[in-house]
Amino acid sequence: MSEGDGVGASTTFADHVAEYEKDIDEVLITGEEIQAKIRALADQITEDYRGRELVLIGVLKGAFIIMADLSRHIRLPLQFDFMAVSSYGAATKTSGVVRILKDLDHEIEQRDVLVVEDIVDSGLTLQYLLKNLSTRKPATLEVCALMQKTDVQQVPLDIKYRGFEIPPVFVIGYGLDYAERYRNLPFVATLRPEVYQTIAE
């Protein structure tokens, strides 16, 4: 474990949680790669918002880990808020119908707002969120997403801070789950096909 980084940032192997090792197919992004990218994104954000105070809005649950790591590298006064959303439909696909489970605790009118997302797949969740948040009249509204899947976005989205482009496959780890498991893995990986058959959705 390297000091000052996220827990287990130096872990590159599938055995971070021994019980999960048999489920992991391939590690797509290592813990080190994630931490390096997050530091670069945070530097860029610090530069772009210098002299201002920023509100970070995390989209629960997946974004809780990137929120924690990213925010500790942003050298600006920050405030935090969270929204929880759920999309109807099968567990590994978004339907585009979004339900707000938890709304913001504070007003964002005239504030500089940065939405922090773990992953953008179809883009429908983010499109809904941005539309919803823009009605609250923030001074600025931008997005930081750790990952974006290529060739599957169904709506045009302007993601100002983007970490990685990944192939359109289902991934877990670094906040992302399948059936509420795997969120605490410090890397991003795919699962063996058998896992989808053995875990009931």
Residues with a catalytic annotation lie at 121
> Please, what is the minimum distance in Å from the beta carbon of residue 53 to ligand IMP?
26
132 binds ligand IMP (CB under 6 A): no
> What DSSP element (H or E) covers 163?
strand 161-166
Structure tokens at 201: 């959705």
Q: Which of residues 139-198 bind ligand IMP (CB under 6 A)?
A: 170-172, 176
Query: Quick one: angle between helices 31-48 and 64-71, nearest 10?
Result: 60
Residues contacting residue 51 through CB under 8 Å, at least 6 positions apart:
none
45 binds ligand IMP (CB under 6 A): no
125 binds ligand IMP (CB under 6 A): yes
115 binds ligand IMP (CB under 6 A): no
The residue (of 54 and 119) whose beta carbon lies closer to ligand IMP is 119
Question: Which residues contribute to the site for ligand IMP (CB under 6 A)?
Answer: 59, 62, 94, 117-126, 170-172, 176
